Chain A
Amino acid sequence: MMDFWIILTAILVASACSILGCFLILRRMALVGDAISHAVLPGIAIAFLMSGTRDSMWMLLGATAFGLLTVFLIQTLQTSGLQSDASIGIVFTALFAVGVLIISLNAQHIDLDLDCVLFGEIAYVPWDTWTLGGNNMGPRAVWMLGITLAVILLLFGLFYKQFKICAFDPAMAVACGIPVLLFHYLLMGMVSMTAVSSFESVGAILVVGMLIIPAATAYLLTHRLGIMIGLSVAVGIVSAVVGYLISYALDASIAGCIVSVAGILFIFALVLAPKNGLIARLARRRSAAQVV
């Protein structure tokens, strides 16, 4: 049962992140995902201090607000003339520093372990259960991630076309009358929500890894967005399951193993992809040379 809950949590994180990651990669905002997943820390810490409990609803709201604040600050700095890489770097390090400072100053009030923030401890997920009216409803993280995934599926189900146009050609989207800025913030809000709901259970690094690596793997394999999302989710889920099994065998961090498996799948795709892979390219170059 324990294994079931852990794998389920990992699969939920992987699916939510893999879907969002496709859009981040296409919009060239991969590192904004990285920034958000670190910058929600002060939100989590403040929500912790104010509500005094691990009440997830407050945490979800507070930290999602910080995620959007990150995006807003990055954009304000960019429009004021600072280059984008520097504005991302400045904003997320400053917010992360605030978070670490709040946690270390209130160490006796907050039972948030700083190690867990980065590495995550997904193995504790089954112990942290949510009770409703005396009934044990299962692990809290599973509920939070489930809700997040449902929101993501709902929004993409409703506005798939709009998100697609915004991802490929924002100028055309504006011309079509699509509120691009609104969809931008919707996407970023979903990234923040995912980052927050998986933060405590799986750690920032798994979130970032799952946001970028599966989507990039799928990006190498196809030219169609629909297929890319499907492949990305598949890569995410396979890494989650295989990574868990490997971590069991090695007695090592589950989140780390999952990201490593995803990275290895990426390397496979890099070498073996049917059209753009290294081997396919070499073969093409050789046959071209023979023709000449």
Chain B
Amino acid sequence: MLDWLISLWSDPNTRWILLGCMLLGLGSGVIGSFTFLRRESLLGDTLAHAALPGVCIAFMLNEVKSASLFLLGALFAGIAAVLCVSAITRWTKIKSDASMGIVLTFFFGVGTVMLTHIQHSGSGSQSGLDKYLFGQAAAMVTSDVYILMGVSVLLIVAAILLFKEFKLISFDPGFARGIGLPVGILEHTMLILTTVAVAAGIQAVGVVLVAALLITPAAAARYWTDRLPVMLAFAGLFGALSGASGAAISTLGEGIPTGPVTVLVATLLFVLSLLFAPGRGWFSKILRHRNLKSTYAQSAERSALNAAEGGTPK
């Protein structure tokens, strides 16, 4: 165990990947908390799938694989997808969940057509494009890790700087508008930050699972507290823990993929929070219920006794 940890730290490449994944988990946990509170968790899933055509176009234009270009492509495609979702919800009677589903599958379908077109045209350098989509942190090179870390730091700094504004538009957008905050701009800023988190996360955990980086740590953190700063800290911690253990465990064997391990660690943390968190957790709820029951039984017994003795019940 100790040897394994030491070997993780001594290999510079692994160390960087570990740090990158940890920061990524931290950043997306923090941003995910806001989307969680705004009940837009599944937007992450939509953004991740919608990134595919963006990544393909970025590749077709430049014929090289570069993480920063992919990030840009994913960012633009994500913004387009969000605009489509809000257009469909505004102009038709279709609800937001269905419009997310439509945009998600349509973008992904178009992306698949482009991807297969690239693969069949066989330009040689296209191999690895699908690796990017399924996420394999171990396949990242140092420059990818730098980008990942830069993006994560950007997310965390933005969340700290805009903390008060984001807090207001998450809990009470009407009030925020009332006191004169530019709610539209702030909402779009948050969406762009979410898109950035998703676009960066795809490379580490893959298209399908990147939504979990945003949702699961935030949902787990919600069980521990009612205060937003504490929740952000917990979500960041859970995210960082899952990212780091995902990257660390996947070095154990050749065939262990980073993404699923990261997501499963996050899910484990969520289940632990669901069961054992003080106050909102399952066990403490049961305990409280039982205490309440026995207190009530005692007081009922007392008043019954009083009544039997002819006294006035208190």
Contacts and interface: CB of A to CB of B under 8 A. Distances in A.
B39 A85 contact: yes
Contacts of B91: 270, 278, 281
B113 A252 contact: yes
A212 B96 CA distance: 12
Given A89-B216, A216-B94, A255 B109 contact: yes
Interface residues of B, number: 60
A260 to B, nearest CB: 5
B307 to A, nearest CB: 38
Contact residues of B: prevailing secondary structure: helix
Interface string A12-47: 000000000000010011110110001000000000
A260 B110 contact: yes
Contacts of A209: 105-106, 108-109
Contacts of A100: 209, 257, 259-260
Nearest to A250: B117
Given A118-B208, A252-B113, A256-B109, A208 B98 contact: no
Given A118-B208, A251-B120, A105 B108 contact: no
B53 to A, nearest CB: 10
Interface in B102-119: 102, 104-106, 108-117
B105 A263 contact: yes
Interface in B29-52: 36, 39-42, 44-45, 49
18 contacts: A83-B36, A85-B41, A89-B41, A89-B42, A90-B267, A93-B267, A96-B260, A115-B130, A118-B207, A119-B116, A220-B93, A251-B116, A251-B117, A252-B112, A252-B120, A256-B116, A259-B106, A260-B109
Interface of A: 25, 28-31, 33-34, 38, 77, 80-83, 85-86, 88-90, 93-94, 96-98, 100-101, 104-105, 107, 114-115, 118-119, 205-206, 208-209, 211-213, 216, 219-220, 247, 250-253, 255-260, 262-263, 266, 270, 276, 278, 281
Interface of B: 36, 39-42, 44-45, 49, 88, 91-95, 97-102, 104-106, 108-117, 120, 130, 134, 207-209, 211-212, 214-216, 218-219, 253, 255-257, 259-261, 263-264, 267, 270, 274, 280, 282
